[in-house]
Amino acid sequence: MDEQFDQDRTVRDYISVIFRYKIMVIMTVIAVVSFVFVALKMQTPEYVAKTKLLISAEKQIEAPYYKDLKNDNKVKGVLTQAEIVKSRPVIERAVQAAKQFEFPVSYELRYSSPIKKYFLDIQQKRLKEELNNMSLAEREKILKYKLEMDLRRRVEVDTVRDTNLFTISVTDYDPDNAARLANMVSRAYIIYDLEQQLAELILKYGNKHPIVLQLNDTIEKLVSTLPQDPKDNIEAIGPASVKIIELATPPINPIGSSKVFVLAGAFIMSVILGSVLAFIFHYSDQTIHSPTEIEEELHLPVIGYAEKRKWMTSNVLADINSLSSYSLAFQNLSEKVHIAFKKNKIQSVVIVPATKKDDSAAVIVNLVKILSKKLNHRVLLIDANFRSPSISRLFKLENAQMVGFGNYLENKIDKSKVIHKVDDNLHVIPTGVTSRNPISLFEGGQLKVLIDEAKTYYDLVVFIAAPLSLAQDTQVLSEYTDGTVLLIKEGHVRKQVLKKIISPIKAKGSGMFSVILHNRSFPVPKFIYDRI
């Protein structure tokens, strides 16, 4: 499609693209939203509790370690303490105080969704199989190791910019347990800090010094109360170089965005993605979808179009006076054909499908039915498609295939023997039987005689030819008729193929050459189309 046509597109054109590929858009939405939904279900809700600590670096003695903390770069000191928080002595003491005796996978099972539970159950079964081959001591060792690794993974330490403050965050599936673990880790860290001070004091004063005894009592008290929740911030502060200034409290909401918000965002993005894919497929589609494309790409006039029939309905009209959209489209097409043929003085015409898969015979039958009955034309329909005859089947003519057009062209039978009456104004000639090549039959002289004689009685003589992409029959037939009509099925023939197969007929320039687009669809519902 050329640039000018792209510029002339309207909102209707763009919406039509989306509706044309609505199945792909819907499938994209379903796939993306389903994937996001399952992904959300695979994520067990987690809560984060935080404690806030202050590095004071003022100790019972001026040991080199504390002097460095006091005088060194603030950020360096905070980062040093942050690494200590996740060290094994601190994490190990917090795990012992927490008194959790189940593996992390078993703990998560209590809070996970049914989908996630299915996979966790598989992990748990594998773990149990491995543990069954271990001794009790080995099991306890594995449990202790996994609990420590799991807690270390769930602990995060963040600095507060331009201050001596930092936070200890602990993630857990239970908000109360998250706060409990955060407070335990922070106090385990305080105990570790006090133990470092105690070691310095013992080296300087010995075990009996009052300061040493007092600090030792403080450590023992903190160790004994570690499994319990501190009653207030004052109790948690203590004499350590790092002081807890804010205890953790149970969080109200889980971390991350709301699932409803995420699903809504996924839905919007999936609609956008589906629409983008629709336009990609549309612009990469090289088939014909509209009369405008035929005129722009093939440079052929379009007489009209036949609408795509609805599912579970016959492609041959049983009642030509029906008010269905399918019937009305053919009635409108017949009127346009009548006007075009009258304007161009067409009395004989070849109607040919572009390809074998066009299913065009029913289109021609519907057209001649309406021309003969509603517009009162005397029509002779001749099936010249020897490769795939269809007239006998569509009109349900018994034994009509035994004699017909081929027999007449071979001078074996009179034309009166091959003409079958469908109604007063519509007569048909089936293909009949012949062993000769159709082109040689057409060039034998009998064809011109038949057409000339038929024109004296009939208003219109219509030939159904073999698909243009398969045979050259149409090129020969068009030399004896007043015009040629090409049937193109929407969305089934590539533009490049059409250009190639029509070029010989266009080059001859014999009579009118025009197009009927059939199987046309209107993807945008009428009530929407009328409002845009």
Which region among 204-213, 311-320, 413-422 has the lowest average model confidence (pLDDT)? Answer: 311-320
Confidence of residue 245 (pLDDT cuts 50, 70, 90): confident
Share of the chain above pLDDT 70, in %: 89
Distance CA 74, CA 64 (A): 16
Distance CA 515, CA 493 (A): 14
- Contact status, residue 116 vs residue 42, Cβ threshold 8 Å: yes
* Region of 396 on the Ramachandran plot (φ > 0 left; ψ -120 to 50 alpha; else beta): left
Distance CA 113, CA 111 (A): 7
Strands 47-55 and 242-246: antiparallel
Q: What is the pLDDT of residue 48?
A: 96
pLDDT at 474 over 90: no
Tokens of 479: 């030399």
- Contact status, residue 47 vs residue 255, Cβ threshold 8 Å: yes
Q: What is the pLDDT of residue 1?
A: 39
Confidence of residue 239 (pLDDT cuts 50, 70, 90): low
What residues does 55 pair with on adjacent strands? 242
Position 492, amino acid: H
Segment 313-322 shows an average pLDDT of: 78
Tokens of 297: 């790409």
Q: What is the pLDDT of residue 5?
A: 39
Tokens of 462: 């219509």
Segment 364-384 shows an average pLDDT of: 92
Segment 439-454 shows an average pLDDT of: 88
Complete DSSP assignment for 150-172: HHHHHEEEEEPTTSSEEEEEEEE
Report the candidate in 519, 392, 401, 390 with the shortest Cα–Cα distance to residue 465. 390
Phi, psi of 347 (to 5 degrees): -120, -20
Please work out, in degrees rounded to the nearest 5, the angle formed at the alpha carbon of residue 127 by the alpha carbons of 121 and 130: 145
Most confident segment among 32-36, 234-238, 356-360: 32-36
Map residue 412 onto helix, strand or coil. Answer: coil
Distance CA 375, CA 291 (A): 25
Confidence of residue 55 (pLDDT cuts 50, 70, 90): confident
**In the chain, where does the domain assigned CATH 3.40.50.300 lie?**
289-529
- Contact status, residue 100 vs residue 147, Cβ threshold 8 Å: yes
Phi, psi of 435 (to 5 degrees): -105, -5
Confidence of residue 243 (pLDDT cuts 50, 70, 90): confident
- Contact status, residue 376 vs residue 426, Cβ threshold 8 Å: no
pLDDT at 65 over 60: no
Q: What is the pLDDT of residue 433?
A: 81
Across the chain, which distance is largest between two alpha carbons, in Å?
Answer: 137
- Contact status, residue 408 vs residue 429, Cβ threshold 8 Å: yes
Q: E strands of 262-357, at which residues?
A: 302-307, 348-353
Segment 190-198 shows an average pLDDT of: 87
Residue carrying structure tokens 């009635």: 331
Distance CA 170, CA 177 (A): 9
Q: pLDDT tens, 270-313?
A: 999 999 999 999 888 889 888 988 998 999 999 999 888 877 67
pLDDT at 123 over 80: yes
Distance CA 498, CA 294 (A): 10
Segment 306-335 shows an average pLDDT of: 83
Distance CA 404, CA 341 (A): 27
Residue carrying structure tokens 């903190």: 222
Report the candidate in 53, 385, 31 with the shortest Cα–Cα distance to residue 188. 53
Q: pLDDT tens, 89-108?
A: 999 999 988 887 777 878 88
Strand order from edge to edge, sheet including 302-307: 302-307, 512-520, 483-489, 348-353, 460-464, 379-383, 426-429, 420-423
Q: What is the pLDDT of residue 275?
A: 94
**Radius of gyration (Cα) for the chain, nearest Å?**
44
Provide the CB-side half-sphere exposure for 137 (13 A, CA).
0
User: What does the mean pLDDT of the chain come to?
Assistant: 85
Distance CA 489, CA 357 (A): 9
* Region of 99 on the Ramachandran plot (φ > 0 left; ψ -120 to 50 alpha; else beta): left
Q: What is the pLDDT of residue 390?
A: 84
Q: What is the pLDDT of residue 74?
A: 53
Residue carrying structure tokens 């202790």: 144
Which region among 11-20, 166-175, 341-350 has the lowest average model confidence (pLDDT)? Answer: 11-20
The gap between the terminal CA atoms of the chain, to the nearest Å, is 23
Tokens of 457: 């009685």
- Contact status, residue 109 vs residue 120, Cβ threshold 8 Å: yes
CATH topology of domain 289-529: Rossmann fold (3.40.50)
Handedness of CA 459, 357, 283, 298 (dihedral sign): negative
Q: What is the pLDDT of residue 4?
A: 37
Q: What is the pLDDT of residue 90?
A: 92
Which region among 28-42, 153-167, 235-249, 402-416 has the lowest average model confidence (pLDDT)? Answer: 235-249
Tokens of 59: 């100790």
Q: pTM surpassing 0.75?
A: no
- Contact status, residue 486 vs residue 515, Cβ threshold 8 Å: yes
Q: pLDDT tens, 147-163?
A: 999 999 999 999 888 88
Instruction: Tell me the C-alpha to C-alpha distance, in Å, between residue 28 and each of 15, 35, 276.
Output: 17, 10, 11
Strand order from edge to edge, sheet including 155-159: 155-159, 165-172, 47-55, 242-246
Q: What is the pLDDT of residue 170?
A: 95
Segment 103-119 shows an average pLDDT of: 88
